[in-house]
Amino acid sequence: MSTTDQSVDLESFRQEVRAFLETAPTPEILEAGRKTTSVFAPFKETMAWQKILNDKGWVAPSWPQEYGGTGWNIQQRYIFTQECNRRGVPPLLPQNIQMVGPAVLGFGTDEQKAEYLPKMLSGEDFWCQGYSEPGAGSDLASLKCRAESDGDDYILNGSKTWTTYGHHANKMFALVRTSTEGKPQQGITFLLLDMGLPGMEVRPIIGLDGEPEQCEVFFTDVRVPKRNRIGEENQGWTVAKYVLEFERGGSTFGTFLVPAMEQLHAVCDTPDASGNRLSDDPILSYKLAELDIDIRAVEHNEKRVNANLKHGENPGPMASLLKIMGTEVMQRFSELQLEVAGLAGLPLQNDALVVGSNVAPIGEESALLAMPYYLNTRAASIYAGSNEVQRSLLAKAALGA
Amino acid sequence: MQYQYTSEQSEFKDSLRKFVQDHYDYESRRHLAKEGNGYKAEYWQQLAELGVFGLPFAEEFGGLELDLGYLMGVAEEFGRGLVLEPMFPVLALAGRLLAAGDNAELKNELIPSLIGGELLIALASEEKASRGNPLIMATSVKAEGGELVINGEKHAVYAAPQASQYLVTAKDESGAVKVLLVAADAAGVTATEYQTVDGARASNLRFDNVKVPASASLFSGDAAASLELVIDEALLVMGAEAVGLMDQLMAITGEYLQTRKQFGMPIAAFQALQHRYADMYIACEKIRSLMWGALQTVGTAEFAESAAMLKAEIGKSGRYLGQQAVQLHGGIGMTDELSVGAYFKRLTAMDLILGGRDYQLSRLIKIRKAA
Ligand SMILES: Cc1cc2nc3c(=O)[nH]c(=O)nc-3n(C[C@H](O)[C@H](O)[C@H](O)COP(=O)(O)OP(=O)(O)OC[C@H]3O[C@@H](n4cnc5c(N)ncnc54)[C@H](O)[C@@H]3O)c2cc1C
């Protein structure tokens, strides 16, 4: 904690955040937080929370202040996320603030900024990410969704897939192919479009937990105005890379894992009717202790990277490390949480997981999430650069190859 | 030393394989898991006709009286095809426990209709606090005026929504384990039915002063040893199912690695994935070996140990294999639309029922200390 801005009193900042969080979220928003079974929280309530944060001016801590950022330093940002997770509000969906926002901030015209940024912040628009395609996953640059020039428009043909919350979105930011010349990265363009344009079709995909979270999106002669382009034609790869680097030190797995682990400990320490505690079992206690170590390491990895950023260091290979460790410790946490739930993890309870459904869980409330969370968390080592790809990047950087 | 199915067992197993291939493509399985009561009565009858339900029972009841290897063969094929018909809970658990009892009248009444496929019966043994140990239970049974009165709660009773009768474990005043036959519609029984993550049907059952006649008790003495033994033998059947699941997952994943292309080549070309696949192969073979090893100890003093080892390993290697099959498929592995996820979920559920890895490890420690 020694490397922070001396001018900011972090403790009083924490108190200010806490005081706000105490009263700001509605019961529905808190219920959505409790019923979050993946990185993508329940849509409606999470967007309601985004609006409240926007009204407070706290929705986009990483953005420049002139466009709605908070002006907080990186430690304050970490504290803010910590306190949000401690309070149990749903995490904001990353698409608006962390994904498309930075692209517009970095490469948009003034006109585009004025048109799009305010509604990204308020949540009036919800943006989905149209990058991946059936044939282009880890090898994103091989994407084929074609944008043909036609006067002032592009005409799109092809498809996107794994589009998270595509069925909730009214806007999409997409990478499309505008040229097949040269290296594949060189013929890609970053495009903004409305969902529901003529020729577009959205098909939700049912996930392992039985719920639709991702979508397929099909384009047949979909007309998109060229003024919706961000950056130059064929410069889309540069825009996408800029977005990835925008939030240096943005890794916050620790802020989630620490309070989640505290809750798991509490469940294990609570005596049952005959006075037995799960934590009396030496084998379970051993596993809890091992996980405690890993979570502590994740937390300090993140704080250390943040602290050193101040000295102008680039997180470099640490970004891959944080992603690998954060997601894999999260997966281990999800395994242990399921083991603790035991038999109570078996029933499918999709109805009880709907916010406002008032369907009582079968068994303990603490076990309700265990299975869907376990299943959904398997995705964490697949998305945002699979952990195999991240390990290759890390090795390459570490070996200096 | 048996390390593979005998030719007679293989023959029987092959007939089941054909049955599964004819009836179980993934799409129809997906529907069956979601709709109605989660199995087809018509298939159940066909399985009866194939002789599956007669396998473990004595000839006096009309059974085939064949050794456990046959049932394992069936389970392996059921695993490979993700079959939902509740053979495991009805036959390997409840049916075999019934056969182990000494209540001739009950056996004469029930076993023939089990064999014929008319009766579905479920074993209600697990409780929240038992954490896998079948001898830890809060459910009680008391003699009251010539009747037996049952109170307690059982969790995750597989096949209960499909069964008309339950075998309920309970402790009497002396602390002895009793197994009681209770009709599903008996007064005082409350069932919370649900679909499980692995596509099956189960219930949480509450018994509030449920009364049964003294003749509904399956064992005259303490049933503890029989209960443990039957469950351990069922773990062998589960082990075989796990092997079937894993073999199929390996085949599906191997095929995907060779056909999915990224960066202009099949992803099988990436060494990281080759090594992962090799580790999955190792995980699969570990369970296969532990399974055959355990079968060899049936009827010996080492059996409990080898059954616990097998189940503990399903909780580790089975889970690993399922997780990695999803991982190597990337996004498509996370969907309900591909069978990979269903295999993964069945392997996940296996560790939660009948004592997970932690419980089995604690058992192994105890067995070693006692030796
Ligand atoms: C829950 C979830 C949400 C998502 N949301 C979105 C979204 O909103 N928008 C969007 O555009 N996309 C989204 N995606 C897609 C995601 O970006 C892709 O799944 C990811 O890029 C991997 O691509 P793939 O699924 O095609 O797998 P593939 O790239 O086909 O990978 C299959 C396997 O091969 C491995 N592999 C691939 N290449 C290599 C290599 N060179 N070396 C070693 N191993 C390799 C992978 O690690 C993986 O294990 C989402 C995915 C998930 C699971």
CB of A138 closer than 6 A to ligand 1? yes
pLDDT confidence of A310, banded at 50, 70, 90?
Answer: confident
By most ligand atoms within 8 Å of CB, the mutation choice from A162, A165, A214 for ligand 1 is: A162
Q: What is the pLDDT of residue B211?
A: 98
CB contact under 8 A, B197 and A345: yes
Contacting residues of B for A371, CB less than 8 Å apart = 197, 348
Q: Given a cut of 70, is residue A3 above it in pLDDT? A: no
Residue closest via CA to ligand 1's atom 1 equals: A379
Q: Which residues contact B331 (CB under 8 A, 6 or more apart)?
A: A132, A137, A161, A162, A214, A379, A382, A383
Count CA within 13 A, CB hemisphere, residue A294.
Answer: 20
Hey, where are the domains in chain A?
Answer: 10-92, 127-234, 249-399
With pLDDT > 70 as the criterion, what percentage of chain B qualifies?
100
Q: What is the pLDDT of residue A395?
A: 95
Quote the CA–CA distance of A214 and A164 in Å, as a whole number: 4
B338 and A CB contact within 8 Å: no
DSSP sequence for A235-285: -HHHHHHHHHHHTTT---HHHHHHHHHHHHHHHHHS--TTS--GGGSHHHH
Quote the CA–CA distance of B368 and A240 in Å, as a whole number: 58
Tokens 């995909």, residue?
Answer: A205
pLDDT tens string B26-36: 999 999 999 98
Q: Are residues B157 and B258 in the same domain?
A: no
CA of A119 to the centre of ligand 1 (A): 29
Question: Which of the 8 DSSP states describes residue B223?
Answer: -
Q: Which residue of B has its CA nearest to A184?
A: B263
What is the tally of structural domains in chain B?
3
Q: What SS3 state is found at B260? A: coil
CATH of the domain at B302: 1.20.140.10
CATH of the domain at B163: 2.40.110.10
Over range B75-97, report the average pLDDT.
Answer: 98
Burial class (CB in 10 A: 0-12, 13-18, 19+), B347: buried
pLDDT tens string A243-272: 988 877 688 999 999 999 999 999 999 999
Contacting residues of A for B362, CB less than 8 Å apart = 281, 283
Out of A349-353, A365-369, A380-384, B271-275, least confident range: A365-369
Chain A: closest CA distance from residue B209 (Å) = 20
Over range B229-243, report the average pLDDT.
Answer: 98
The closest CB to that of B196, out of A339, A348, A383, belongs to A348
pLDDT confidence of B79, banded at 50, 70, 90?
Answer: very high
Out of B98, B120, B142, a domain closes at B120
The CATH H-level superfamily of A249-399 is Butyryl-CoA Dehydrogenase, subunit A, domain 3 (1.20.140.10)
CB of A386 closer than 6 A to ligand 1? yes
Q: What SS3 state is found at A399? A: helix
CB of A127 closer than 6 A to ligand 1? no
Out of B120, B153, B179, a domain closes at B120
Q: Are residues B289 and B342 in the same domain?
A: yes
Are the CB atoms for B323 and B344 separated by under 8 Å? yes
Q: Which residue of B has its CA nearest to A163?
A: B331
Chain A: closest CA distance from residue B83 (Å) = 18
The closest CB to that of A283, out of B194, B352, B358, belongs to B358
pLDDT confidence of A4, banded at 50, 70, 90?
Answer: very low
Over range A394-399, report the average pLDDT.
Answer: 93
Strand ranges (E), chain B: 121-124, 140-144, 147-158, 165-171, 177-183, 189-195, 201-213, 261-262, 265-266
CA of A390 to the centre of ligand 1 (A): 11
Is B258 inside a domain boundary?
Answer: yes
What average pLDDT does the structure give for chain B? 97
Quote the CA–CA distance of A174 and A130 in Å, as a whole number: 4
Q: Given a cut of 70, is residue A312 above it in pLDDT? A: no
Is B317 inside a domain boundary?
Answer: yes
Q: Are residues B111 and B24 in the same domain?
A: yes
What is the model's pTM?
0.97
Quote the CA–CA distance of A127 and A394 in Å, as a whole number: 30
Is B2 inside a domain boundary?
Answer: no
Q: What SS3 state is found at B308? A: helix
CB of B36 closer than 6 A to ligand 1? no
Contact residues, B window 127-156, toward A, CB-based 8 Å cutoff: 128-129, 131-132, 138, 155-156
Q: Which residue of A has its CA nearest to B335?
A: A207
Q: Are residues B189 and B243 in the same domain?
A: no
Q: Given a cut of 80, is residue B352 above it in pLDDT? A: yes
Tokens 């443990």, residue?
Answer: B228
Is B113 inside a domain boundary?
Answer: yes
Q: Are residues B240 and B287 in the same domain?
A: yes
Chain B: closest CA distance from residue A243 (Å) = 22
pLDDT confidence of A6, banded at 50, 70, 90?
Answer: low
Contact residues, B window 102-131, toward A, CB-based 8 Å cutoff: 126, 128-129, 131
Q: What is the pLDDT of residue A2?
A: 37
Is B54 inside a domain boundary?
Answer: yes
Token pair for A344:
């109570």
CATH no. of A127-234: 2.40.110.10
Q: Are residues B178 and B201 in the same domain?
A: yes
Q: Are residues B344 and B232 in the same domain?
A: yes
Contacting residues of A for B126, CB less than 8 Å apart = 343
Out of B120, B144, B165, a domain closes at B120
Out of A309-318, B91-100, B151-160, least confident range: A309-318
CB contact under 8 A, A349 and B194: yes
Token pair for A361:
């869980």
CB of A259 closer than 6 A to ligand 1? no
Over range A377-398, report the average pLDDT.
Answer: 96
pLDDT tens string A321-369: 999 999 999 999 999 999 999 999 999 999 999 999 999 999 888 899 9
ipTM of this complex prediction, to 2 decimal places = 0.98
pLDDT tens string B187-204: 999 999 999 999 999 999
CB of B327 closer than 6 A to ligand 1? yes
* Structural domain of B39: 7-120
pLDDT tens string A194-245: 999 999 999 999 999 999 999 999 999 999 999 999 999 999 999 999 998 8
pLDDT confidence of B293, banded at 50, 70, 90?
Answer: very high
CB of B334 closer than 6 A to ligand 1? yes
Neighbours of B22 (CB within 10 A): 10
The closest CB to that of B330, out of A137, A272, A342, belongs to A137
Chain B: closest CA distance from residue A372 (Å) = 9
Q: Are residues B41 and B112 in the same domain?
A: yes
Token pair for A197:
């344009």
The closest CB to that of A391, out of B197, B272, B334, belongs to B272
Is B1 inside a domain boundary?
Answer: no
CB contact under 8 A, A375 and B345: yes
pLDDT tens string B215-224: 999 999 999 9
Q: Are residues B41 and B170 in the same domain?
A: no
Q: Are residues B170 and B144 in the same domain?
A: yes
Question: Which of the 8 DSSP states describes residue B114?
Answer: H
Chain A: closest CA distance from residue B146 (Å) = 30
Quote the CA–CA distance of B95 and B10 in Å, as a whole number: 23
Is B158 inside a domain boundary?
Answer: yes
The fold adopted by the segment(s) A10-92 is Butyryl-Coa Dehydrogenase, subunit A; domain 1 (1.10.540)
Over range B319-334, report the average pLDDT.
Answer: 98
Is B228 inside a domain boundary?
Answer: yes
Quote the CA–CA distance of A175 and A160 in Å, as a whole number: 9
Q: Given a cut of 90, is residue A42 above it in pLDDT? A: yes
pLDDT confidence of A5, banded at 50, 70, 90?
Answer: low
CATH of the domain at B61: 1.10.540.10
Q: What is the pLDDT of residue A244?
A: 87
Q: What is the pLDDT of residue A363?
A: 87
What average pLDDT does the structure give for chain A? 95
Q: Given a cut of 50, is residue A1 above it in pLDDT? A: no
Over range A105-112, report the average pLDDT.
Answer: 98
Residue closest via CA to ligand 1's atom 24 equals: A137
Q: What is the pLDDT of residue A365?
A: 86
Q: What is the pLDDT of residue A175?
A: 98
Burial class (CB in 10 A: 0-12, 13-18, 19+), B30: middle
